[in-house]
Structure 1
């Protein structure tokens, strides 16, 4: 593997649902440091709700572009750990993805398709040939990621597989008509903002509103375009249309039971 554009070894990022109360994240970093203490490890987040693969997918999809080409992204939200689900590594244009084959990478790969994918079958790059049934992050993903970032070729990590067979999460794409775009809520952030799967490009330069659960929500530029406590729709920093409440929590206050929403354009 070549070094990145500034001549340093590739970065390694970690994303998980492990939280910060337990030792799991620290152990993964220790395993990486045992293999190569010179690697820089960046925590994307470890506050994904337990087993929430869709939230992990969203966060990784909206983070990878902010890292140098060649970055190794290790993502572990893995309710199927210890089962027959595959452990994989994937090369794409921006770098590499390592984790379970459960759809966690489907957001990234919908924007930047896989170039090569392998199932992690080469035990020489695992921490142990007898990994824990409950902690593949420690025993498989962290050591494989460290070896990959240290120069081990991707294809040496296991058996090459068809990228078309990688698991995809069942998240519908938004659909456009002449006057509207129909989408769904794909993520709820810490502030309670309801983030849709409708990209900013559909509403740029237009007057628009969001219709959801009988509400008509005006499209705005900033939170301050409405009074404190009022509902609005806007494009968040991630580039997706979202529903929010100025200084409030849209998720808890609106109680939107349905995830489908419609952006009406004019």
Structure 2
């Protein structure tokens, strides 16, 4: 049976958008205008346009986190593209449960894996009747990626838009590990509430025999060690107090009840830390 996406696979096609463009300028609106000109029936969903500028790993994290919640056949358009106009390829990634469009810098690959795995990767050929005769070398989001996403949502096969390639860039998320009774990990994301999201999953905490009510000793890069209680919900501690819990993506988060753990602890994404259960 032929694999179908877009209008052929759903009553109304869905295109998600993730960028580091922010909301001050017209960039996002221009991309949406192009999409709607080609596929006016598309439902456009903003994942985020507040990714830290040029932060490919942050974008890859958010895309991989959100994409699996969408219906099968959704087209995911992501543009964090510091190499725009250079030698990096514009890609379509066909995953088992959806399609991803964006630059070849690792941004798309973690999400594709979480969408059931990669079926094929294609380099977009921005030529012919489906793309503008001329396009800028500074805004591929509007001139290449947006048309590609729109045509995919209309049911155009990826092979009409590009050629299959074997080599592409992967964004490798750092992995936490257990050694000597301690888990070494990293803060991978800070949300708007100041929650410090780590890459330490539930399995590693269980290996420490940590459970709700346990005290965790945390030593973060550039900071003295501190102790925090592992709880199930924010309300289990006083307002303003620090806590640790398993967040909605199944990993350890350092938080504060109705406050910013990032500001209190003066920590940010990319910093390493170690965690052990206080005996």
Same fold (TM over 0.5): yes
4+ residue stretches of structure 1 with deviation over 6 A?
none
What runs of 5+ residues in structure 2 fail to find an aligned partner?
none
Please list, as runs of the form range in 1=range in 2, the aligned pairs for 1:75-224 lying within 5 A after superposition. Answer: 75-111=78-114, 112-124=116-128, 127-162=131-166, 165-177=167-179, 179-203=181-205, 206-207=210-211, 208=214, 209=216, 211-213=218-220, 214-224=225-235
Q: How many residues align?
A: 264
Root-mean-square deviation (CA, aligned residues, Å) is 2.3
Answer yes or no: is the 8 Å Cα contact 1:210–1:216 preserved in 2: yes
Of the three residues 27, 42, 45, the one matched with 1:24 is 27
Normalising by structure 2, report the TM-score. 0.86
Partner of 1:252: 263
Partner of 1:228: 239
Bigger mean CA offset, 4-13 vs 150-159? 4-13
Answer yes or no: is the 8 Å Cα contact 1:12–1:72 preserved in 2: yes
Bigger mean CA offset, 179-188 vs 200-209? 200-209
SS of 1:143 mapped into structure 2: helix
SS of 2:72 mapped into structure 1: coil
CA distance in 2, matches of 1:252, 1:4: 45
Normalising by structure 1, report the TM-score. 0.90
CA distance in 1, matches of 2:86, 2:244: 41
What per-residue deviation string (whole Å, max 9, x for no partner) do you get for residues 221-241 of structure 1?
111222222211111122221
Residue 217 of structure 1: CA displacement? 2.3
CA distance in 2, matches of 1:116, 1:6: 19
SS of 2:145 mapped into structure 1: helix
